[in-house]
Structure 1
Amino acid sequence: MMYDQTRAQQPAGRTPGSAGRRTPGPEPLLPSDEQDKIAQRLRHALNTFADTPLEALEEAESAYDEATAQLVNALAERRRVLRASWQDRDPGTQSDALRQALRQYREITQRLLQL
Protein backbone atom coordinates (compact mmCIF):
# COMPACT_ATOMS: atom_id res chain seq x y z
CA MET A 1 0.00 0.00 0.00
CA MET A 2 1.33 3.41 -0.91
CA TYR A 3 1.48 6.18 1.68
CA ASP A 4 -0.37 9.32 0.59
CA GLN A 5 1.58 12.12 2.21
CA THR A 6 -0.78 14.82 0.95
CA ARG A 7 -3.73 13.13 2.58
CA ALA A 8 -1.87 12.66 5.88
CA GLN A 9 -1.16 16.37 6.00
CA GLN A 10 -4.81 17.36 5.66
CA PRO A 11 -6.57 18.09 8.95
CA ALA A 12 -9.45 15.78 9.71
CA GLY A 13 -12.72 16.85 8.15
CA ARG A 14 -11.09 19.10 5.55
CA THR A 15 -10.45 18.69 1.90
CA PRO A 16 -7.92 20.46 -0.30
CA GLY A 17 -9.29 23.87 -1.22
CA SER A 18 -11.85 23.94 1.57
CA ALA A 19 -10.34 27.19 2.94
CA GLY A 20 -10.68 26.09 6.53
CA ARG A 21 -14.31 24.98 6.25
CA ARG A 22 -15.19 21.64 7.78
CA THR A 23 -16.92 19.19 5.51
CA PRO A 24 -19.93 17.47 7.02
CA GLY A 25 -19.26 13.94 8.04
CA PRO A 26 -18.60 11.59 10.89
CA GLU A 27 -16.54 12.58 13.87
CA PRO A 28 -12.91 11.46 13.46
CA LEU A 29 -11.99 8.32 15.36
CA LEU A 30 -8.80 9.98 16.65
CA PRO A 31 -8.36 13.63 17.56
CA SER A 32 -6.67 15.58 14.77
CA ASP A 33 -3.69 16.53 16.95
CA GLU A 34 -2.99 12.83 17.60
CA GLN A 35 -3.37 12.05 13.90
CA ASP A 36 -0.93 14.86 13.12
CA LYS A 37 1.68 13.56 15.60
CA ILE A 38 1.54 10.05 14.17
CA ALA A 39 1.65 11.31 10.58
CA GLN A 40 4.65 13.48 11.44
CA ARG A 41 6.48 10.48 12.89
CA LEU A 42 5.71 8.48 9.77
CA ARG A 43 6.91 11.30 7.49
CA HIS A 44 10.11 11.48 9.54
CA ALA A 45 10.65 7.75 9.04
CA LEU A 46 10.08 8.08 5.29
CA ASN A 47 12.43 11.05 5.03
CA THR A 48 15.27 9.40 6.97
CA PHE A 49 15.07 5.96 5.35
CA ALA A 50 17.90 6.60 2.87
CA ASP A 51 20.35 7.55 5.63
CA THR A 52 19.23 5.20 8.42
CA PRO A 53 16.92 2.50 7.04
CA LEU A 54 16.71 0.34 10.18
CA GLU A 55 16.01 3.29 12.45
CA ALA A 56 13.44 4.57 9.95
CA LEU A 57 11.69 1.19 9.96
CA GLU A 58 11.69 1.13 13.75
CA GLU A 59 10.16 4.63 13.78
CA ALA A 60 7.52 3.59 11.23
CA GLU A 61 6.70 0.49 13.28
CA SER A 62 6.42 2.60 16.42
CA ALA A 63 4.08 5.04 14.66
CA TYR A 64 1.99 2.08 13.48
CA ASP A 65 1.85 0.64 16.99
CA GLU A 66 0.81 3.99 18.43
CA ALA A 67 -1.88 4.48 15.79
CA THR A 68 -3.36 1.02 16.32
CA ALA A 69 -3.29 1.33 20.12
CA GLN A 70 -4.99 4.72 20.01
CA LEU A 71 -7.56 3.45 17.54
CA VAL A 72 -8.39 0.42 19.71
CA ASN A 73 -8.75 2.66 22.77
CA ALA A 74 -10.91 5.19 20.89
CA LEU A 75 -13.17 2.45 19.53
CA ALA A 76 -13.54 0.86 22.97
CA GLU A 77 -14.48 4.21 24.49
CA ARG A 78 -16.93 4.96 21.69
CA ARG A 79 -18.51 1.53 22.21
CA ARG A 80 -18.78 2.12 25.97
CA VAL A 81 -20.52 5.48 25.48
CA LEU A 82 -22.80 4.14 22.77
CA ARG A 83 -23.79 1.08 24.80
CA ALA A 84 -24.56 3.27 27.82
CA SER A 85 -26.93 5.29 25.64
CA TRP A 86 -29.26 2.34 25.03
CA GLN A 87 -28.56 -0.32 27.63
CA ASP A 88 -31.18 -0.69 30.37
CA ARG A 89 -33.80 1.29 28.43
CA ASP A 90 -37.30 0.12 27.68
CA PRO A 91 -37.22 -0.73 23.94
CA GLY A 92 -40.86 0.26 23.46
CA THR A 93 -40.56 3.79 24.79
CA GLN A 94 -37.11 4.65 23.49
CA SER A 95 -37.31 3.54 19.85
CA ASP A 96 -35.77 6.79 18.55
CA ALA A 97 -32.76 6.45 20.86
CA LEU A 98 -32.37 2.81 19.85
CA ARG A 99 -32.63 3.71 16.16
CA GLN A 100 -29.95 6.39 16.61
CA ALA A 101 -27.67 3.91 18.40
CA LEU A 102 -28.14 1.42 15.56
CA ARG A 103 -27.21 4.11 13.01
CA GLN A 104 -24.05 4.91 14.96
CA TYR A 105 -23.04 1.24 15.16
CA ARG A 106 -23.63 0.93 11.42
CA GLU A 107 -21.59 4.05 10.61
CA ILE A 108 -18.62 3.03 12.75
CA THR A 109 -18.64 -0.54 11.44
CA GLN A 110 -18.83 0.61 7.83
CA ARG A 111 -15.93 3.00 8.39
CA LEU A 112 -13.88 0.14 9.86
CA LEU A 113 -14.66 -2.08 6.89
CA GLN A 114 -13.45 0.64 4.51
CA LEU A 115 -10.04 0.95 6.19
Structure 2
Amino acid sequence: MTYDANPGTGATTSASPSEAPLIPQGERDKLALRLQQAVNTFVDGPLRAVEEADSVFEEAARCLTDAVAERRGLLRSAWAGKDRETEAETEELRVALRTYREATERLLRM
Protein backbone atom coordinates (compact mmCIF):
# COMPACT_ATOMS: atom_id res chain seq x y z
CA MET A 1 0.00 0.00 0.00
CA THR A 2 1.39 3.41 -0.91
CA TYR A 3 0.66 6.80 0.47
CA ASP A 4 1.79 10.37 -0.01
CA ALA A 5 4.79 11.13 2.20
CA ASN A 6 4.34 14.81 1.38
CA PRO A 7 0.72 15.84 1.87
CA GLY A 8 -0.38 18.74 -0.27
CA THR A 9 1.73 17.79 -3.28
CA GLY A 10 -1.32 16.73 -5.25
CA ALA A 11 -0.07 13.17 -5.70
CA THR A 12 -2.82 10.59 -6.09
CA THR A 13 -2.28 7.72 -3.67
CA SER A 14 -4.25 5.18 -1.68
CA ALA A 15 -5.02 5.58 2.00
CA SER A 16 -2.19 5.43 4.49
CA PRO A 17 -1.96 2.35 6.70
CA SER A 18 -3.26 4.42 9.61
CA GLU A 19 -6.45 5.25 7.65
CA ALA A 20 -7.29 1.76 6.38
CA PRO A 21 -10.07 -0.04 8.28
CA LEU A 22 -8.72 -2.11 11.16
CA ILE A 23 -11.47 -4.68 10.71
CA PRO A 24 -12.55 -5.40 7.12
CA GLN A 25 -16.10 -4.34 6.26
CA GLY A 26 -17.26 -7.92 5.66
CA GLU A 27 -16.10 -9.01 9.11
CA ARG A 28 -17.69 -5.94 10.73
CA ASP A 29 -20.96 -6.73 8.94
CA LYS A 30 -20.93 -10.34 10.19
CA LEU A 31 -20.26 -9.26 13.77
CA ALA A 32 -22.96 -6.57 13.62
CA LEU A 33 -25.46 -9.11 12.28
CA ARG A 34 -24.64 -11.60 15.05
CA LEU A 35 -25.02 -8.87 17.67
CA GLN A 36 -28.35 -7.76 16.23
CA GLN A 37 -29.56 -11.37 16.22
CA ALA A 38 -28.57 -11.68 19.88
CA VAL A 39 -30.55 -8.54 20.72
CA ASN A 40 -33.54 -9.78 18.72
CA THR A 41 -33.60 -13.14 20.54
CA PHE A 42 -33.37 -11.70 24.05
CA VAL A 43 -37.05 -12.13 24.86
CA ASP A 44 -37.06 -15.82 23.94
CA GLY A 45 -33.71 -16.66 25.55
CA PRO A 46 -32.13 -13.88 27.61
CA LEU A 47 -29.15 -15.89 28.84
CA ARG A 48 -28.40 -17.28 25.39
CA ALA A 49 -28.67 -13.75 23.90
CA VAL A 50 -26.23 -12.31 26.44
CA GLU A 51 -23.81 -15.21 25.92
CA GLU A 52 -23.89 -14.57 22.16
CA ALA A 53 -23.34 -10.84 22.71
CA ASP A 54 -20.35 -11.72 24.92
CA SER A 55 -19.00 -13.98 22.18
CA VAL A 56 -19.41 -11.25 19.54
CA PHE A 57 -17.66 -8.73 21.79
CA GLU A 58 -14.80 -11.15 22.40
CA GLU A 59 -14.39 -11.82 18.67
CA ALA A 60 -14.51 -8.11 17.82
CA ALA A 61 -11.86 -7.38 20.46
CA ARG A 62 -9.68 -10.22 19.11
CA CYS A 63 -10.03 -8.93 15.54
CA LEU A 64 -9.07 -5.45 16.66
CA THR A 65 -6.11 -6.69 18.71
CA ASP A 66 -4.86 -8.83 15.81
CA ALA A 67 -5.23 -5.95 13.36
CA VAL A 68 -3.35 -3.51 15.61
CA ALA A 69 -0.54 -6.04 16.13
CA GLU A 70 -0.30 -6.64 12.38
CA ARG A 71 -0.28 -2.89 11.67
CA ARG A 72 2.45 -2.38 14.26
CA GLY A 73 4.53 -5.16 12.73
CA LEU A 74 4.28 -3.55 9.30
CA LEU A 75 5.24 -0.15 10.68
CA ARG A 76 8.13 -1.57 12.67
CA SER A 77 9.51 -3.53 9.72
CA ALA A 78 9.74 -0.29 7.73
CA TRP A 79 12.36 1.20 10.04
CA ALA A 80 13.71 -1.28 12.61
CA GLY A 81 17.21 -2.63 12.11
CA LYS A 82 18.16 -0.31 9.27
CA ASP A 83 21.33 1.77 8.88
CA ARG A 84 20.60 5.12 10.50
CA GLU A 85 23.34 7.00 8.61
CA THR A 86 21.63 7.73 5.30
CA GLU A 87 19.46 10.70 4.32
CA ALA A 88 16.80 8.35 2.92
CA GLU A 89 16.62 6.67 6.32
CA THR A 90 15.76 10.00 7.93
CA GLU A 91 12.86 10.39 5.51
CA GLU A 92 11.68 6.83 6.23
CA LEU A 93 11.79 7.59 9.95
CA ARG A 94 9.84 10.82 9.45
CA VAL A 95 7.14 8.94 7.55
CA ALA A 96 7.13 6.18 10.17
CA LEU A 97 6.74 8.71 12.99
CA ARG A 98 3.87 10.43 11.19
CA THR A 99 2.17 7.09 10.57
CA TYR A 100 2.56 6.07 14.23
CA ARG A 101 1.09 9.42 15.29
CA GLU A 102 -1.90 9.07 12.95
CA ALA A 103 -2.56 5.47 13.98
CA THR A 104 -2.26 6.24 17.69
CA GLU A 105 -4.53 9.29 17.43
CA ARG A 106 -7.08 7.12 15.61
CA LEU A 107 -6.98 4.54 18.40
CA LEU A 108 -7.38 7.24 21.04
CA ARG A 109 -10.50 8.58 19.27
CA MET A 110 -12.20 5.19 19.50
Larger Rg: 2
Q: What SS does the aligned partner of 1:73 have? A: helix
**Aligned residue in 2 for 1:105:** 100
Matches of 1:43 and 1:100, distance apart in 2: 40
- Please tell me the root mean square deviation across aligned C-alpha atoms, in Å: 1.6
Question: Could you tell me the TM-score, scaled by structure 1's length?
Answer: 0.73
Matches of 1:111 and 1:54, distance apart in 2: 35
5+ residue gaps, structure 2, are 1-14
Is 1:90 the counterpart of 2:59 in the alignment?
Answer: no
Aligned pairs, number: 92
Matches of 1:95 and 1:50, distance apart in 2: 60
More contact order relative to length (CA 8 Å, sep ≥ 6) = 2
**Aligned residue in 2 for 1:60:** 53
Question: Could you tell me the TM-score, scaled by structure 2's length?
Answer: 0.76
Matches of 2:104 and 2:82, distance apart in 1: 23
C-alpha deviations, 1:32-87, integer Å up to 9, x for none? 11111111111111111122111110110000000001111111111111100011
Q: How does 1:21-32 map to 2 (within 5 A)?
A: 26-32=19-25
5+ residue gaps, structure 1, are 1-23
Q: How does 1:10-29 map to 2 (within 5 A)?
A: 26-29=19-22
